[in-house]
């Protein structure tokens, strides 16, 4: 696509389609994972939820390492290609059809995602010079690519995986990843001018015998797969690892803020770092509940939602398509809305946006209470219950997700921007892991041999979702009360 026609650098569309197919691969695996664990590997709900939480938690932690290694040694292009290849291999290993193959495949997907996800976004940013007014628009286009990939995965892969067999779904996700690598590699000339895409000098230096650092890191990446295997199966270890990482990162941020204050003779950076840590905790709360989509909400859809549409029954995993579909529908509306509200002087503060996002998430869960009023003889609520639940979850997401990334770049001193973004990614990792633990609370099916009836299962799900909704409303109220103190800590960041 030419720069003149599109008004954006040539490489943007290459990166758009590469990322689209990578997200197709990732969400394709994720959309089927819980049902595969429960229905094919005969795991109990609680165990399946904890495995899912550990996996998605590690997926979000991996870019912290992947980004750093690309910055220092690998360069962004090689890191993305290495990540894509590992992800494709991971999908095809899962086709082995047993628990061991699944865990090895998940390990490869985690490490691969760490390299791919962290660095393709970086290349997008580096296509634009500092202060280029097209940058935000470029990232918006890129974000649409992410959601088109997620939408294709939650419809196509979900349908094929549940209709014809899980292995066909996982295989299709792997083929999607190969397409992404092919597009990224064949279009490399279009983004080559972006700084940092080539191998780093440090990466080409000898590290171990005849091997340079790039080769050692590549081999070392394969050796990390067994570590992921262990952490997914022994997921209680993540309790300690993620807590220790959160405390270490919080200490590092406050120390960096204190140092920046000392050097500049101000007293704002330490306060801003404290604010960032509070927002990380709020972020964990939101996403731990939002990420029920892949676990408890999918199992709820499988057992207690009437998915019949004009004689056709929608596969349970396919109900996850509502979220990316609503993002595509509402995304541009929200971006225009924030601009208009700013012009009117009515744009809510960042703490209030977070609070309003959590309120919508809460109301989404409470919609299940309305669905309960229309339950059928098979103890199933109407599909519209999930339609409105996911609509509210998505509008809530749009209050938080884009705002959060922008906020981190504004709150952090320039010299620790990477560390601050790594801390923000860590909050997503913790959220996904905690989300698995929350989903395990609904686990009354399998595992210990106790099977709930359809009626008992429905009562359990509605009870847990209602409690989540009420707790979220209480948290939102606390944030609203703390709006002014939080704004004071942020020292003018809007």
- Write out the H or E segment, with its range, that includes residue 5: helix 3-6
pLDDT in the model for residue 94: 97
Average pLDDT over residues 230-237: 96
Contact 436/50 with Cβ under 8 angstroms? yes
Domains in the chain, ordered, with CATH?
8-235 (1.20.1250.20), 238-494 (1.20.1250.20)
pLDDT value at 444 more than 90: no
Q: What letters, b where the CB count within 10 A reaches 16 and e where it falls short, cover 303-342?
A: bbbbbeeeeeebbbbbbbbbbbbbbbebbeebeeebeeee
User: What pLDDT, on the 0 to 100 scale, is given for residue 1?
Assistant: 38
Residue 309 CA neighbour count, 13 Å, CB half: 8
pLDDT score at 129: 83
Number of Cβ atoms within 10 Å of the Cβ of 452: 18
Looking at the predicted structure, is the pLDDT value of residue 469 above 80?
yes
Phi, psi (deg, nearest 5) at residue 212: -90, 175
pLDDT at 447: 56
pLDDT at 61 over 70: yes
User: Whose CA is closest to 106, among 265, 236, 225?
Assistant: 225
State yes or no: pLDDT of 2 exceeds 70. Answer: no
pLDDT the model gives residue 4: 36
Residues 155-166 have pLDDT tens digits of 999 999 999 999
Mean pLDDT of the region 3-17: 78
Residue 179 has pLDDT above 50, yes or no: yes
% of the chain exceeding 70 in pLDDT: 97
Tokens 């094929």 correspond to 160
Least-confidence region, from 328-337, 367-376, 462-471: 328-337
**Tens of pLDDT, residues 270-321:** 999 999 999 999 999 999 999 999 999 999 999 999 999 999 999 999 999 9
d(CA 465, CA 390): 13
- Closest to 86 in 3D by CA, of 228, 199, 211: 228
| Residue 50 predicted with pLDDT over 70 | yes
Q: Residue 115: count other Cβ atoms within 10 Å of its Cβ.
A: 30
| Residues 117/83, Cβ–Cβ less than 8 Å | yes
* pLDDT at site 468: 98
User: For 114-141, what is the mean pLDDT?
Assistant: 85
pLDDT averaged over every residue in the chain = 93
Whether 446 has a pLDDT exceeding 90, the answer reads: no
Once rounded to an integer, what is the mean pLDDT over residues 66-88?
Answer: 95
Q: Quote the tokens at residue 248.
A: 């270490």
Residue 453's Cβ-count burial label (10 Å; 0-12, 13-18, 19+) is exposed
């Amino acid at each position: 696509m030419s720069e003149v026609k599109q008004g954006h650098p040539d490489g943007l569309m290459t990166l758009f389609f590469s990322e689209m197919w990578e997200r197709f691969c990732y969400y394709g695996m994720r959309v089927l994972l819980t049902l595969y664990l429960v229905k094919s590997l005969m795991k109990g709900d609680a165990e399946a939820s904890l495995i899912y939480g550990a996996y998605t938690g590690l997926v979000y932690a991996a870019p912290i390492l992947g980004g750093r290694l690309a910055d220092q040694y690998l360069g962004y292009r090689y890191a993305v290609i290495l990540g894509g290849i590992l992800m494709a291999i991971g999908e095809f290993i899962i086709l082995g059809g047993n628990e061991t193959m699944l865990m090895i495949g998940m390990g490869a997907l985690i490490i691969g995602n760490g390299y791919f996800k962290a660095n393709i976004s970086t290349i997008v940013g580096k296509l634009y010079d500092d202060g280029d007014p097209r940058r935000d628009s470029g990232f918006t286009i890129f974000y649409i690519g992410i959601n088109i990939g997620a939408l294709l995965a939650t419809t196509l892969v979900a349908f094929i995986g549940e209709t014809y067999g899980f292995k066909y779904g996982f295989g299709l996700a792997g083929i999607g990843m190969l397409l992404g690598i092919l597009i990224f590699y064949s279009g490399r000339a279009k983004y080559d001018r972006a700084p940092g895409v080539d191998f780093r000098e440090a990466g080409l230096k000898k590290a171990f015998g005849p091997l340079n650092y790039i080769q050692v890191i590549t081999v070392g990446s394969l050796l990390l797969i067994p570590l992921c295997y262990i952490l997914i199966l022994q997921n209680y270890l993540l309790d300690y690892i993620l807590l220790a990482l959160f405390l270490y990162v919080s200490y590092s941020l406050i120390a960096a803020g204190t140092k920046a204050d000392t050097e500049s003779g101000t007293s704002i950076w330490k306060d801003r770092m404290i604010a960032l840590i509070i927002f990380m905790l709020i972020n964990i709360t939101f996403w731990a509940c939002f990420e029920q989509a892949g676990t408890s909400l999918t199992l709820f859809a499988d057992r207690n939602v009437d998915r019949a549409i004009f004689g056709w029954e929608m596969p349970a995993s396919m109900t996850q398509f509502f979220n990316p579909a609503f993002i595509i529908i509402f995304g541009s509306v929200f971006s225009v809305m924030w601009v208009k509200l700013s012009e009117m002087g009515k744009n809510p503060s960042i703490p209030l946006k977070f609070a309003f996002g959590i309120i919508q998430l809460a109301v989404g869960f409470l919609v299940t209470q309305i669905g309960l009023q229309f339950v059928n003889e098979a103890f199933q609520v109407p599909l519209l219950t999930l339609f409105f639940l996911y609509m509210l979850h998505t509008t809530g997401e749009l209050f938080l997700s884009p705002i959060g990334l922008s906020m981190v770049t504004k709150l952090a001193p320039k010299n620790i921007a990477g560390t601050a973004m790594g801390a923000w990614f860590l909050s997503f990792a913790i959220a996904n892991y905690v989300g698995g633990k929350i989903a395990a609370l609904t686990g009354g099916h399998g595992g210990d041999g106790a099977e709930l009836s359809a009626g008992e299962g429905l009562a359990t799900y509605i009870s847990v979702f209602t409690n989540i909704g009420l707790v979220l409303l209480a948290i939102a109220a606390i944030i609203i009360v703390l709006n002014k103190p939080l704004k004071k800590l942020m020292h003018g960041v809007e």
